[in-house]
Amino acid sequence: MTANEEVKKGTTTIGMVCKEGVVMATEMRATMGTLIAHKTTQKLFKIDENLGLAVAGVVGDAQTLARYITAEVQLYKLKRGQLMTVKSAATLTSNILSGSRFYPYWVGLILGGVDKDGGHVYALDMVGGAIPDEYVTTGSGSPYVYGVLEDHYESGLTVSDGVDLAARALHAAMKRDSASGDGMTIATITSDGLSLVEKKDIDKRMAKMKLSS
Per the annotation, the verdict on 40 as an active-site residue is: no
Q: How far is CA 169 from CA 59, 178, 200, in A?
A: 23, 15, 18
Q: Is-contact 108 122, C-beta < 8 A? A: no
φ and ψ of 2, to 5 deg:
-135, 150
Of the residues 11, 13, 41, 188, only one is catalytic, namely 11
Q: What value does the CA radius of gyration of the chain take, rounded to a whole number of Å?
A: 16
Quick one: 39 exposed, middle or buried, by C-beta within 10 A (0-12, 13-18, 19+)? exposed
- Catalytic sites, residue numbers: 11
